[in-house]
Chains A and B, each alone.
Chain A
Amino acid sequence: MPKKVPEQIIRLGIVISIIFGSVALTLYLLPPALKDKPFHRRSTILAETAKPIQFAGSNACADCHDDKYQQKKTGYHRNLSCETCHGPAAEHAADPITIKPFVARERRGCPTCHEYDPSRPTGFPQINPTIHNPLQPCVTCHNPHDPVPPRTPEECAACHAGIVRTKAISSHALVACTTCHTVPEKHKITPRIIRPTKPETRDFCGKCHAKGAPVVDAPKIDLSTHWEKYVCWQCHYPHLPAERL
């Protein structure tokens, strides 16, 4: 004969079902907006956004220094933010009279970017600070808001020193750069936009190195049989031809 379920068991059952019910409620029934953005996240975001700004941004600079902005806009430094060289200037923007930003008039600033470093990308303008007009502040010759070489370099070595040094010890030492490269005059002013030509065909090297070419002391090959599917500079480095690649 089935006994009546005791009162305390029923109560216990009710309590347990309430607990399970509330767990189910929070897990499945409450909308996510009510539970997964706890208050502490909000307070962290507010604390984070309340932090003071140190770098004002270049738009802030242009408001007052329009002359410099206009000058910089067309030069090689056009993409540089003012604060890259002048340091953080938010305080200066808030109080322009008493707080002045850093102005790099010494020699230290520019080599940070322009000192020669073998890891820097090819073509990025670099100098050796120990031999490039030692002790002179860069600003005596270069205007940092519109940097150009103070005078147009006459020799290729001014910029392509590495290649010229290599070539000097090679069998091509006496061949002038312009023998193989035609250099437009504008290359000296906008070196990375107007570029010199480079030889394009096997026949170009053949002018000296093909059988029967007029240059006497150049080694001769038969262009029709000597690796005819390749161009010369795939195997021979023209600035140091003795060294096979």
Chain B
Amino acid sequence: MFVGSVIIRTCRRKGCDMKRRDLLKNIILFIPVSGAFRATIQAAQANSDLNGYHPENHYYGMGIEVAKCIGCGKCIEACKIENNVPREPFFFRTWVERYIIKKDSSVAVESIHTGGKQPKETIEEKDILRSFFVPKTCNQCANPPCVQVCPVGATFSTDDGVVLVDRDRCIGCRYCIQACPFGARYLHPQTRTADKCTFCYHRVVKGLLPACVEVCPTQARIFGDLRSRASELVRFQRMNKIHVLKPYLNTEPKVYYSGLDGVVN
């Protein structure tokens, strides 16, 4: 229909006398021709550009061993450097939460900051029953609610299981930020578009580890390919009791936790 209106408009401007029959003929001809054209281009593009990387052969996930995290915040810093995330502590693609369970069984949670003062709770050490850090990031859900709600289709899952945002399409409506049950998205203050963890997609396709995994000093984060039985992540899943965040929401997260405490949500 769009093509038809274009033709009609050009006709009017040029004053030509195209018959309705010609118009219909053109439209009917246009559909298969354009389809074939597009298919050719797609076929040509399919194996170029990514330097021999085939997304359909991979399916990425992350493992997190809670007991190993020392809360140093190196992952947060590295992520900000690698991905141009604003330096302010309230913008982050990945973050680390400190859980303090007190002897009266109340729970205090805070997101740790890097560089500068910690917003430390005034909890006496003798009141602490147990305490630990939980690294969090986008869960790259297999069934992502953020993708469902996007009104313009700007966010989508890739073949290798990473949820990406198209910065040119995103209109900054914040629906996805609201829809994410894990709070993994934020509105980038410069581009005014939604931004989130991409598993460092630009590194992964080149065979490098995501920046947070690369710098983690205690191997609390494990990155790997779920399609490969030899990957570290599959080994991690084999050797540990695994839990995911908010399993009851059926978003099927691909960030797997071992040793996750029941109070974490």
Contact = CB atoms under 8 A, between A and B. Distances in A.
Interface stretch (A1-9, A112-120, A169-177, A200-208): A112-120
Interface residues of A, number: 40
A48 B198 contact: yes
A44 B147 CA distance: 15
A37 interface: yes
Interface string B38-54: 11001001000110000
A80 B217 contact: yes
A226 interface: no
B112 to A, nearest CB: 9
A84 B220 CA distance: 13
B64 interface: no
A53 B156 CA distance: 23
A83 B214 CA distance: 8
A57 B215 contact: no
B211 interface: yes
A65 interface: no
- Give the interface centre of A33, A34, A44 by most chain B CB atoms within 10 Å: A44
A48 B201 contact: yes
Contacts of A45: 50, 55, 158, 164, 201
A54 interface: yes
B129 to A, nearest CB: 11
Contacts of B215: 55, 81, 83-84
Contact of A113 (B38, B206, B217, B219): B217
Interface in A61-119: 77, 79-81, 83-84, 87-88, 112-113, 117-119
Contact of B70 (A43, A50, A121): A121
B202 A51 contact: yes
B211 A54 contact: yes
A109 B197 CA distance: 26
Contact of A40 (B67, B128, B166, B198): B166
- Give the interface centre of A34, A47, A57, A121 by most chain B CB atoms within 10 Å: A121
B100 to A, nearest CB: 7
Nearest to A80: B217
A22 B49 contact: no
A124 interface: yes
A42 B45 contact: yes
Interface in B214-265: 214-219
- The size class of the interface chain B forms with chain A is 35 or more
A178 interface: no
B74 A119 contact: no
B132 interface: yes
B87 interface: no
B144 interface: no
- Give the interface centre of B73, B158, B201, B217 by most chain A CB atoms within 10 Å: B217
Contacts of A83: 78, 214-215
Contact of B218 (A38, A79, A112, A119): A79
- Give the interface centre of B50, B68, B83, B202 by most chain A CB atoms within 10 Å: B202
B115 to A, nearest CB: 9
Contacts of B211: 54-55
B167 interface: yes
A81 B214 contact: yes
A113 B167 CA distance: 36
Interface in A189-207: none
23 contacts: A33-B39, A38-B153, A41-B156, A41-B166, A43-B166, A47-B167, A48-B202, A49-B206, A54-B211, A55-B208, A55-B211, A79-B217, A80-B217, A83-B214, A84-B74, A84-B215, A84-B217, A113-B70, A113-B217, A117-B70, A117-B71, A119-B99, A120-B71
Interface of A: 22, 30, 33-34, 37-38, 40-55, 57-58, 77, 79-81, 83-84, 87-88, 112-113, 117-121, 124
Interface of B: 31, 35, 38-39, 42, 45, 49-50, 55, 67-74, 78, 81-83, 98-100, 125, 128, 131-133, 153, 156, 158, 164-169, 198, 201-203, 205-206, 208-209, 211, 214-219
The 7 closest A-B pairs by CB, nearest first: A119-B131, A51-B202, A44-B166, A113-B72, A84-B215, A54-B82, A48-B201
